[in-house]
């Protein structure tokens, strides 16, 4: 349709950011983040299937699927849909996990830590976007994290929640992966790619 070399710029839904460096950082974050999400989702999903915790298994499988979709979009240079769909899907799933991660006397809540990572990722991913994606979404991630950090809001049904011994291990896994992911986001923000 267009003579060779004269094709128009890609439509806005295919790109994200204003410079090639920024697009490279966005793609790197989406690929690395999606890989981490798929790994965690598949691991926890498999565990919860074996434990017959079907709601948690379904949520983890959904998280894995969202990670796979975001990975596919990123690898095919559909960066904006990867970012927008991925962040919103993760916000919904993580908030759901927070509702089932009610603190116990011997086990603190930890799922909300991932919302901090999500907010940091929003800052990088949506740097050149409009108000909602650039400001509202990361502030919402921080606000929801703060709400769960300072309250016992959630569903306390033992049939839906992970068992306390699993949650005790989960606290360490959630905190470790959160700190690794925040470190990854900060490193990618500064990467000279």
pLDDT tens digits, residue range 49-69? 999 999 999 999 999 999 999
Q: pLDDT band for 136, please (50, 70, 90 cuts).
A: very high
In a domain, 92, yes or no: yes
pLDDT for 10: 45
pLDDT at res. 19: 83
Query: Residue 9 domain-assigned?
Result: no
Q: Is residue 4 part of a domain?
A: no
**Residue 169, H or E segment:** helix 164-190
Averaged pLDDT for residues 133-151: 97
Closest C-alpha to 188, from 40, 70, 17: 17
Q: Is residue 100 part of a domain?
A: yes
In tens, the pLDDT along 149-177 reads 999 999 999 899 998 999 999 999 999 99
Question: Does the pLDDT value for residue 193 go beyond 90?
Answer: no
Q: What pLDDT is attached to residue 3?
A: 53
Q: Is residue 11 part of a domain?
A: no
What pLDDT score was predicted for residue 7? 46
What's the rounded Cα separation, in Å, for the pair 139 and 107? 27
In the structure, what pLDDT confidence band is assigned to residue 5 with cuts at 50, 70 and 90? low
Question: How large is the C-alpha radius of gyration of the chain?
Answer: 18
Domain residues for 45?
A: 19-190
Say if residue 1's pLDDT is above 50.
no
- State the helix-helix crossing angle for 113-125 and 20-50, rounded to 10 degrees: 150
Q: Please state, in angstroms and rounded to a whole number, the distance separating the CA atoms of residues 70 and 88.
A: 11
Give yes or no for residue 14 having a pLDDT over 70.
Answer: no
Lowest mean pLDDT among 29-33, 129-133, 158-162: 158-162
Residue 70 has pLDDT above 90, yes or no: yes
- Per-chain mean pLDDT for the chain: 91
Assigned domain for 128 exists: yes
Tell me, yes or no, whether 10 lies in a domain: no
Full-prediction pTM beyond 0.85? yes
- Alpha carbons 70 and 85: distance in angstroms, whole number: 7
| pLDDT confidence bin for 75, thresholds 50/70/90 | very high
| Tally of structural domains, the chain | 1
21-36: average pLDDT: 94
Q: Would residue 143 count as lying in a domain?
A: yes
Phi then psi for residue 4, to 5 deg, are -55, 130
């Amino acid at each position: 349709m267009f003579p060779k070399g004269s094709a128009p710029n890609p439509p806005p839904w295919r790109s994200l950011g204003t410079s090639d460096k920024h697009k490279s950082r966005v793609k790197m974050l989406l690929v690395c983040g999606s890989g981490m999400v798929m790994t965690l989702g598949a691991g926890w999903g498999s565990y919860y299937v074996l434990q017959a915790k079907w709601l948690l298994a379904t949520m983890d499988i959904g998280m894995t699927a969202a990670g796979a979709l975001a990975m596919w979009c990123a690898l095919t240079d559909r960066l904006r849909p990867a970012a927008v769909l991925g962040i919103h899907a993760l916000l919904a799933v993580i908030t759901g996990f927070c509702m089932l991660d009610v603190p116990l006397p011997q086990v603190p809540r930890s799922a909300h830590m991932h919302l901090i990572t999500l907010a940091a990722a929003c800052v990088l991913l949506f740097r050149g976007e409009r108000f909602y994606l650039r400001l509202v979404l990361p502030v919402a991630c921080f606000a929801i994290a703060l709400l769960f950090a300072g309250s016992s809001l959630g569903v306390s049904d033992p049939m839906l929640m992970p068992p306390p011994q699993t949650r005790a291990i989960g606290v360490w896994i959630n905190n470790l992966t959160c700190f690794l992911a925040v470190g990854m986001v900060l490193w990618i923000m500064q990467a000279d790619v």
